[in-house]
Structure 1
């Protein structure tokens, strides 16, 4: 269900492909009667999101037709589809990716008293084109036997000589790293951010590779002592019943570094209504549903993210890793400074 196959050239063919996808598989007796449909383009690659779609359909009777792909693929596909695009809602991880979609003209502004009330201003677009529905912190994973907590209390620590040959990271064009660098530039300025990036490059245990879980597991395997990761990836390992994952968690834990005295860098996952949404009312209902207590608890419980709605408390596992100060920087900064961030990485030699 995750891929349509070859790109389709007409609006009727695009809609047909959604209809075919939506019809796959037997209908369960517990499903709500269909009261409309919603075409969702998502760059969130989490199986846990299926719980969100099921809950939305149960609450509204609106069927969700899902197309999943990477954020850059999603943007290019929608640009090619133009006003023939069947997309109603766009979801993606990271404010930087949302900003890219916004700059490509893929969203439309909406007016929703529900979203304006529930989603803090710093977690949404000022023009109401997109909204954050979950939060994640970019933190430092470290080997408990080799590193003291006070040695990883700041992001600057990763560039210090203490960690020469002991840092694992993923590539510089990863949007999570781009957003972190954007925040560093915002707080420090380009010169200090560049010096930091050069220091991290000098400290790398290996060339950048893999995703966040691979960085954590590399610490467990003794390849490095410290690494950057998003919190929910580590919490997946904590929640896992796999013996190998449990062994990694026994060895590795998280530090929540302070960014220039303001707290830990926090990003979002979110979405908005597509510019040419054929089912706009259903799209707005879907976004508003994502701000409900039920949906916020699914984000936190099923994928170990932090709720975006302040009144919603995280479940026990996530709550264990919630005792930190979040940098209040508006997430729009991460997109606005993205080009600068990539330029700094390139100049530092961070591949």
Structure 2
């Protein structure tokens, strides 16, 4: 269904946006903890409900897909935001660089979250991990191991499909490649990926599985949790067919380990409910919350000793890259530049 858009004066649009933001902020202030999140609310609500049941503290979430840092910066000292919940090391690092978060000293967080998955200055903390892996056709790809480097091998020419190179998940992967091999090697690698593409990058990670199922390509790059979501999608059962057409291959760097990204959390700079917010941060890093994340969202818990779900375990052993995410984040800008320089999103050039 298509709706006709009626142009409105910029001043009216700006006023409407301000009124909406003010209303949302006022609504959030009625709660014990106010969360600005770029995560889909239905993915985090079960764990927030469990927190409320245990502590009696209530939460309010405001979903902000884009411009989260700008929103908090614009609100300044009057911002109702207590916590930022988001996905991708890039977004967490962007919040830090924008100066809208603050350091947290917590023995609980430091005990529960391994050092590689938290900021060196304690301004953000990972909560869950997802592997950036290969989706491979069960019919057309053998059981051989695949390294990240080998994805650029000409043997895959015309057989690879991915979403946009500029998407945050691919930028993080390219940044990890830079951290391991340097800028020039990464540029050559991205050129190889580009020329192995079956067509121009498009869609999301699930669309790459769909393309493999349709025979449009043989391998794709995607996050592990999407496979679990497809396998158990009752609302759109065709996604089960996409999942059934692929197998998960854990690609590795030369250290024998697989790149992962994270969902994470940070304490807002001017958090009005700082004490309550810290309680939620610590709860999210603990046993119960980590188990809920694992079972419902098909993500890997970061707290040591908490097992992944049976679905995720079926993907095979994930040996997590030990390159600190804070180090990977330093190369995000260069990774983005390389994508544009080689014309990745224009598709194969040879």
Instruction: Using structure 2 for the length normalisation, give the TM-score.
Output: 0.89
Once the two structures are overlaid, the 10-residue window that deviates more, 231-240 or 288-297, is: 231-240
CA contact (8 A) 2:33 2:273 kept: yes
Q: Which stretches in structure 1 are left out of the alignment for 5+ residues?
A: 23-35
**Which residue of structure 2 lines up, in the alignment, with residue 82 of structure 1?**
76
Residue 126 of structure 2 aligns to a residue in which SS?
strand
Matched-pair contact (CA < 8 Å) for 2:231–2:244: no
Q: What is the CA–CA distance in structure 2 between the aligned matches of 1:138 and 1:263, rounded to whole Å?
A: 11
Which residue of 282, 289, 298 corresponds with 2:292? 298
Cα deviation digits, residues 311-335 of structure 1 (max 9, x gap)? 1112222222251311111111232
CA distance in 1, matches of 2:167, 2:19: 30
Aligned-partner SS, 1:111: coil
**Deviation at residue 15 of structure 1 after TM alignment:** 3.6
2:247 and 2:204 map into 1 onto residues whose CA distance is: 17
Contact 1:136 / 1:266 at 8 angstroms: preserved in 2?
A: yes
Question: How far off its partner does 1:249 sit?
Answer: 2.4
Alpha-carbon deviation of 1:343?
1.2
Distance in 1 (alpha carbons) for counterparts of 2:262 and 2:158? 31
Q: Verify the 8 A CA contact 2:285 2:303 in the aligned structure 1.
A: yes
Alignment root-mean-square deviation, CA: 1.9
2:3 paired residue number: none
Structure 2: 5+ residue stretches without partners: 1-14, 346-350
Question: In the aligned structure 1, how far is the partner of 2:294 from the partner of 2:185?
Answer: 35
Aligned residues: 330
Q: Post-superposition, which runs of at least 4 consecutive aligned residues in structure 1 deviate over 4 A? A: 9-14
How far is the alpha carbon of 1:210 from its aligned partner?
1.1
**1:276 aligned onto 2:270:** yes
CA drift at 1:288: 0.5
Contact 2:257–2:320 under 8 Å retained in 1: yes
Partner of 2:245: 251
When residues 46 and 225 of structure 1 are mapped into structure 2, their CA distance, relative to the original with a 3 A threshold, is farther
How far off its partner does 1:44 sit?
A: 1.1
Using the TM superposition, give the Cα deviation of residue 13 of structure 1 relative to its aligned residue in structure 2, in angstroms: 5.1
Deviation at 1:92, TM superposition (A): 0.6
Per the TM alignment, residue 144 of structure 1 is displaced from its structure 2 partner at its CA by 1.3
Residues 318 and 6 of structure 1, relative CA distance in 2, 3 Å threshold: farther
Which residue is 1:348 aligned to? 342
The question of 1:227 aligning with 2:213 is answered no
User: How far, CA to CA, are the matches of 2:44 and 2:223 in structure 1?
Assistant: 18
For 2:250 and 2:41, how far apart are their aligned partners in 1?
A: 24
